[in-house]
Amino acid sequence: MTATDHCLFLSVPCQPSWFWITPYYAVMLLAINMALARLVYITERQTKVKLSGAMAPKCKTGCGKNAILKRPKTGDALCRECFFWAFETEVHNTVTAARLFRRGQYVAVAASGGKDSTVLAHVMKELNQRYDYGLRLVLLSIDEGITGYRDDSLETVKRNRDQYGIPLTVLSYEDLYGWTMDDIVKQVGLRNNCTFCGVFRRQALDRGAAQLGVDQIVTGHNADDIAETVVMNVLRGDIARLQRCTAISTGTEGSIPRSKPFKYTYEKEIVMYAYFKKLDYFSTECIYSPNAYRGYARAYLKDLEAIRATSIIDIIHSGESLAVRDAARLPTQGTCSRCQYISSQPVCKACVLLQGLNQGRPRLGIGKSSKVQERARETEGESDDRSEVDSATVTVGAG
Ligand code: SF4
Ligand code: ZN
């Protein structure tokens, strides 16, 4: 063998000095090759077994198909189609048990482009057709004016409008209040921004619903959201909110009812449904999302869930069973003296927050209701260079 000869096994140039050890070397390499060949054979076999599904569990329903997921809510191994069926049937059962809709109703689906509202719009359309609810559906979106977040998510809602053939109406904070969330954050910072955003959104949805003339609004609040709210209200000792936060439908005299068809639906299952259905949704977090308190409640629930899988539903049932003492003082609902929208105070929270923004006193509406009302009364009429609550609607037809 010369310096340019190649080793029989390794295809590398052999050195002349190696020549005398070749028989020993060859035996060793043969053994290694045989071991590798066996490994490749075993791996291929296992892959084939996996692909053919011979080892995969069968769907719990007995449909004969292989299971592809384990339901977080029940632990059942299900195939894709049986999971869709179970998910949709549970929502239908929730809707019928609570008698949420009446035939002929006009219903607005609050749509943000996120997973919950996208799945809700999809399921509402599906159930409306399958069970002939006889509903007329519309998507209602609120544009808070958050650059790089809401503008992108609204593009998703517009695609959903076209995909589902449901008309869409968009209302913006800028048109309603003269302020975008970008402007509000510039003035108030990132501490109380979600208070402004939450209060304005709630009223904006009511205004949009009133303009559309809908009979009710459905929102994508899921079981995890409701359990978090129960925990937060217990920790805050907020009896009024604790009493109503587990209600599937809210809305007192004069206001448009809001319903939560996903009240008993786990967030994880909504994500699975969206994933397996390949729904088009927007999954980026809001850029102004500190909301630390809810974040702690969520983390606490996740810890509980790791120990006890039914924690979320258990907390909702506990919230439903809580009775409020007769002696507990609960706020009575009336209307705001400024904007005429529903309020438990003489001036609604949205009007006080807006007054604070317009007067350059962003903290005016933050804190205890009684103090807030007092401050709002004292400073009413002081320089207020932006307009009172105004309403405007941009309607975008179904594509
Ligand atoms: Fe509004 Fe806060 Fe939600 Fe962002 S995280 S959309 S600021 S409520
Ligand atoms: Zn008001």
- The tens digit of pLDDT for each residue in 249-284 reads 987 666 899 999 999 999 999 999 999 999 999 999
Q: Is 289 in the pocket of ligand 1 (CB under 6 A)?
A: yes
**Dihedral sign for Cα atoms in the order 25, 29, 31, 32:** positive
Q: Report d(CA 372, CA 352) in Å as an integer.
A: 8
Rg (alpha carbons) of the chain, rounded to whole number: 30
Q: Which atom of ligand 1 is nearest to 150's Cα? A: 6
Please give the pLDDT value at position 368. 64
Please give the pLDDT value at position 10. 37
**Is residue 263 within 8 Å of residue 248, measured between CB atoms?**
yes
For residue 114, how far is its CA from the centre of ligand 1 (angstroms)? Answer: 13
Q: Is 144 in the pocket of ligand 1 (CB under 6 A)?
A: yes
The pLDDT-based confidence of 398 (bands split at 50, 70, 90) is: very low
For residue 210, how far is its CA from the centre of ligand 2 (angstroms)? Answer: 15
For residue 338, how far is its CA from the centre of ligand 2 (angstroms)? Answer: 5
Ligand 1 pocket test, candidate residues 197, 225, 294, most atoms within 8 A of CB: 197
Ligand 1 pocket test, candidate residues 154, 173, 193, most atoms within 8 A of CB: 193
Is 90 exceeded by the pLDDT of residue 22? no
Whole-number percent of the chain with pLDDT over 70: 75
Mapping DSSP to helix (H, G, I), strand (E, B) and coil, where does residue 58 land?
A: strand
Please give the pLDDT value at position 332. 75
Q: Is 195 in the pocket of ligand 1 (CB under 6 A)?
A: no
Calculate the alpha carbon distances from 94 to 54, 91, 197, 233 in Å.
37, 5, 30, 24
Is 50 exceeded by the pLDDT of residue 55? yes
The pLDDT-based confidence of 52 (bands split at 50, 70, 90) is: very low
Q: Is 82 in the pocket of ligand 1 (CB under 6 A)?
A: no
The pLDDT-based confidence of 28 (bands split at 50, 70, 90) is: low
For residue 192, how far is its CA from the centre of ligand 1 (angstroms)? Answer: 10
Q: Is 188 in the pocket of ligand 1 (CB under 6 A)?
A: no
Cross-strand bridge partners of residue 140: 110, 169
The pLDDT-based confidence of 89 (bands split at 50, 70, 90) is: very high
